[in-house]
């Protein structure tokens, strides 16, 4: 082989290596951006809930609903539809068209953002797939995320319809399902992004095994706390018992178990739902700080140590945000920040878990 031929072969190999490394990073950028959009969607959803805007659009029109009302007559038509439901008749009787437009825009933005997420996810997915730039191992995950996105759109409408007939707001059960699915999609996207950006270690330190178990337990606790917050939002339970640490002068509020069957108190009793969320939030903070203190005594990669410290710090910030939001009777801005804080805490925990994950056999062929 000539020198020039040998040099060309080396150059081709180097270019191939660069392409192999850049492709997962491009896919990671796409997934990470999609996760950021889901994060924003959850915050917009919190604002929509806090402003009681979710029932302002009475129609499900995935294509034509992309555009808002374009004439005075169309505005009046959608307002007249809203005036047929209990929320208007019992809570907002006498609302003007201008006041209706305020709540309409939040719900419209929420739905439009959902459509944009679908577009931002689907179009690059097709492009990556057709160009052969999608790693084989991630293809089934991408299809699953696409299906979950469609399911989430249905769940949103399923939730909204619960407020059209006999209620002045949506069902807290359906709201929690809608929120929970959004959180799962967000976490799923983040985890795939982390796998694409940071390869699995070639070996695992023995001390990380117990840390991972505790971190998984903390992750479960964070998720339960987040779901309990969905019930607080669904029942608007944060607008009562606006003192801390006591509730109506007591540690455990009166009437905690007043509903029958007793289990209904966990999901339908304002006092019980708020108390449970407070308790879970406190346990989450304690768990995060204790875990950080324990992890400091271990020999860990610097990135993992920083992530664990960030978890403890964010847990403290989130706890203070929750208390402040409660004491100020849930202003919209703080309620939205509290929602964002929960998702940031979840993301940091996933990052730490990823950084402490065990070595994987055959990782070079999968790029994970």
Q: What's the pTM value of the predicted model, to 2 decimals?
A: 0.90
Q: Assign residue 275 a region (left: φ > 0; alpha: ψ between -120 and 50; beta: otherwise).
A: alpha
Residue 19 in tokens: 């392409």
Distance CA 318, CA 337 (A): 9
The more confidently predicted of residues 202 and 111 is 111
Confidence band of 299 (pLDDT split at 50, 70, 90): confident
In the chain, % of residues over pLDDT 90: 81
Chain segment 42-70, per-residue pLDDT in tens: 999 999 999 999 999 999 888 888 999 99
Instruction: Mark the binding-site residues for heme, compressed into ranges.
Output: 277, 338
The pLDDT of residue 61: 85
The pLDDT of residue 4: 52
Print burial letters for 77-101: b (CB count within 10 Å at least 16), e (below 16).
ebbeebeebbbbeeebeebeeeebb
Q: Where are the domains of the chain?
A: 1-197, 203-368
Q: Is the pLDDT score of 206 beyond 50? A: yes
In contact, 366 and 198? CB cutoff 8 Å: no
CA dist list (Å): 89 to 54, 96, 221, 320: 16, 13, 40, 37
Chain segment 124-136, per-residue pLDDT in tens: 999 999 999 999 9
Chain segment 28-39, per-residue pLDDT in tens: 999 999 999 999
Residue 120 CA, chain-centre distance (Å), reads 17
The pLDDT of residue 160: 95
Q: Is the pLDDT score of 329 beyond 70? A: yes
Q: Is the pLDDT score of 102 beyond 60? A: yes
Q: How many CA atoms lie within 13 A of 176 on its CB side?
A: 20
Distance CA 19, CA 15 (A): 6
Confidence band of 99 (pLDDT split at 50, 70, 90): very high
Chain segment 173-190, per-residue pLDDT in tens: 999 999 999 999 999 999
What average pLDDT does the chain have?
A: 90
Cα distance from N-terminal residue to C-terminal residue, the chain:
36
Instruction: Mark the binding-site residues, compressed into ranges.
Output: 277, 338
């Amino acid at each position: 082989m000539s020198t020039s031929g040998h040099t060309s072969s080396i150059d081709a190999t180097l270019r191939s290596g660069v392409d192999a490394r850049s492709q997962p990073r491009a896919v990671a950028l796409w997934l990470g951006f999609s996760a950021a959009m889901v994060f924003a969607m959850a915050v917009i959803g919190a604002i929509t809930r806090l402003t009681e805007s979710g029932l302002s659009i009475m129609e499900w029109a995935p294509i034509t609903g992309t555009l808002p009302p374009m004439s005075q007559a169309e505005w009046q038509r959608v307002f007249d539809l809203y005036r047929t439901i209990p929320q208007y008749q019992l809570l907002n009787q006498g609302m003007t068209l201008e006041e209706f437009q305020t709540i309409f825009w939040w719900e419209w933005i929420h739905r439009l953002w959902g459509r944009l997420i679908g577009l931002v996810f689907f179009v690059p997915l097709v492009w990556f797939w057709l160009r052969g730039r999608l790693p084989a191992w991630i293809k089934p995950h991408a299809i699953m995320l696409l299906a979950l996105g469609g399911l989430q759109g249905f769940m949103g409408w399923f939730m909204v319809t619960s407020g059209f007939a006999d209620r002045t707001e949506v069902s807290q059960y359906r709201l929690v399902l809608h929120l929970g699915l959004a959180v799962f999609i967000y976490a799923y996207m983040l985890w795939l992004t982390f796998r694409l950006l940071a390869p699995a270690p070639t070996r695992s330190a023995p001390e990380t095994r117990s840390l991972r178990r505790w971190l998984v337990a903390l992750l479960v606790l964070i998720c339960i706390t987040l779901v309990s917050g969905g019930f607080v939002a669904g029942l608007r339970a944060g607008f009562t018992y606006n003192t801390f640490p006591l509730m109506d002068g007591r540690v455990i509020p009166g009437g905690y178990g007043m509903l029958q069957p007793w289990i209904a108190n966990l999901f339908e009793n304002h006092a019980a739902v708020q108390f449970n969320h407070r308790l879970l939030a406190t346990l989450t903070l304690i768990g995060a700080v204790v875990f950080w203190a324990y992890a400091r005594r271990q020999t860990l990669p610097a990135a993992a140590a920083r992530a664990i410290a960030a978890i403890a710090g964010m847990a403290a910030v989130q706890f203070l945000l929750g208390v402040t939001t409660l004491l100020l009777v849930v202003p919209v801005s703080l309620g939205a920040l509290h929602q964002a804080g929960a998702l940031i805490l979840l993301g940091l925990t996933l990052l730490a878990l990823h950084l402490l994950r065990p070595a994987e056999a055959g990782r070079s062929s999968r790029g994970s």
